[in-house]
Chains A and B, each alone.
Chain A
Amino acid sequence: MGELATLAHERFIEIGEMSILVRTDSLDFARLLEDRYGSFVSAPVPRPAFELDIELAPLGSLSEDEDVDVRRESGCWLIQRGDFRAELNPKTCRGWVRQTENPYSIDAVLRILHSLILAEQGGFLVHAASAVRNGWAYVFAGVSGAGKTTLARLAPPDARLLTDEISYVRPRDSGYEAFGTPFAGELARLGENVRAPLAALHLLEQGPENRLEEVSEAEAAQALLRNILFFAHDEELVGMIFQTVCDFVRRVPVRRLVFTPDARVWELIA
C-alpha cells in the first residue's frame, strides 16, 4: 500500500447513516466517486465508521471473471474477486482495496462492508426495491426478474424511490427503518438519500392480477433469507443473520404481493 501521506484525496460516502472514508492519491478516482455516489458523498465527519485506502492498479492488470470470495482470517475480512483485492480490519475499522480505476470494484467492497457491519447491528442489505410513501417505507424483495424495477417504475409521483435493486434495513427501538442506497438495478438511477420507518415487506411475484397474500412467519423468513446479501461463509455471521431474519419477520408485516404491470398495484401497497 502507498504511504498514507500520499493519499491526498478523501471522500466520505454515507449510506444508511454509516459514513465510510475513502482515501486515494488519484484526483480522477476521487471525482469518479463523486459521480458514482452523488448525494451519498457527504461533508467530512469527525469519526467515520470505516476508513478505506485505495491502491489503484494499472488497467488490465486484474481479471474480471471470478466470483467474490469473502473469508475471515486472523480477525480480518479478506475479500477477493477478479477485479479487486481488499482487506478489512473490523477492530481498527480500517482497510485497503487494490483495484483498477473503475466504479464497480469499490461498489462491491462497499456492499460487502455494509453487509458485514450491518449484520452485527441486526440489520441487512436485501435484493429488494424500496420506496417511501406517506412517510412510510415499503420494501419489495425478489430475485432478478421478480419485478423490482417494474414496480419502481410504476410508483406514483409522490413516492420517493430508495432503490430499485438493493434495500438497506436497520433496526430501531420501535421496528425498523429503510434507507435510500446508491445501488441501482436496471433503472440505473441512484435511490434518494432519505429514510423512513418500515411499514411492510412484500415478496414479489408476477401474476395475472394484483393481490396481497398472507404468508407464515416461517415462509417469510425462508424467502427473506434467500434474498439477503450474504457474502461470507462464516459460522458466526450465518448465525447472526438467521437470528436477525427471525426477529424481523416477527416484528414487520411480510406479505406476498402478486402483481401485474399496472400502476393500480400501488393502491394495494400504500
Chain B
Amino acid sequence: MSPLYIARSHEIAARALDGEMMIMSVRDSTLFNLNESGTIIWQAADGVTPLEEIVARRICAEYEVEPAEALQDAENFVRELAGHGIFLVSDQPLAAAAAKSGEQA
C-alpha cells in the first residue's frame, strides 16, 4: 500500500474549544467536532508525514489500539473529512498545502 499524506485544507475555519477541535467547512458550512484522536491527526497533518507514521507515533503510542485497525480507522476518518474539503489527501507529499492553515488556537 502506498503511503498516504494529509494536509489541512485552506477552505476551513477551525478553533479549539474546551480542548476539542471544531472545524467548519467554508465550502458547505458542515461542522465537525473532532475527538482526541481526530484532533491529534488534525494537528499532525503537515502534508509530509505519512498517515501511517502519524498513527504509529501519535495514536498507537498514546492509546492501546491495534496498529492495523487504528490505521484503517484513521484512513476512513481522513477520507470522510476530505470529502467535505477539510483535509487534502494524496499519495505524494503535500508540503506547500501544509505551509498555511486557517487554524487558530
Contacts and interface: CB of A to CB of B under 8 A. Distances in A.
Interface stretch (B19-27, B51-59, B68-76, B86-94): B19-27
Contact of B33 (A222, A230, A250): A222
B66 to A, nearest CB: 29
A222 B31 contact: yes
Nearest to B21: A218
Given A218-B33, A238-B29, A242-B24, A249 B17 contact: yes
A218 B19 CA distance: 9
Interface of B is mostly: strand
B102 interface: yes
A236 B20 CA distance: 23
B17 A239 contact: no
Q: How large is the interface on B (under 10, 10 to 19, 20 to 34, 35 or more residues)?
A: 10 to 19
Nearest to B23: A242
B15 interface: yes
B13 A238 contact: yes
A217 interface: yes
A79 B15 CA distance: 30
A246 B26 CA distance: 15
B29 A243 contact: no
Interface residues of A, number: 17
Contact of B20 (A218, A230, A238, A242): A218
Nearest to B102: A239
Interface string A202-233: 00000000000000111001100100001001
Interface in A243-265: 243, 246, 249-250
Nearest to A249: B17
Given A235-B27, A239-B26, A218 B18 contact: yes
A216 B21 CA distance: 13
Given A218-B20, A222-B33, A225-B31, A243 B15 contact: yes
Given A225-B31, A233-B29, A246 B11 contact: no
B22 to A, nearest CB: 6
Nearest to A243: B13
Given A236-B26, A242-B24, 15 more contacts: A216-B20, A218-B17, A221-B22, A222-B22, A222-B31, A225-B31, A235-B27, A238-B13, A238-B26, A239-B13, A239-B24, A239-B26, A242-B13, A243-B13, A250-B17
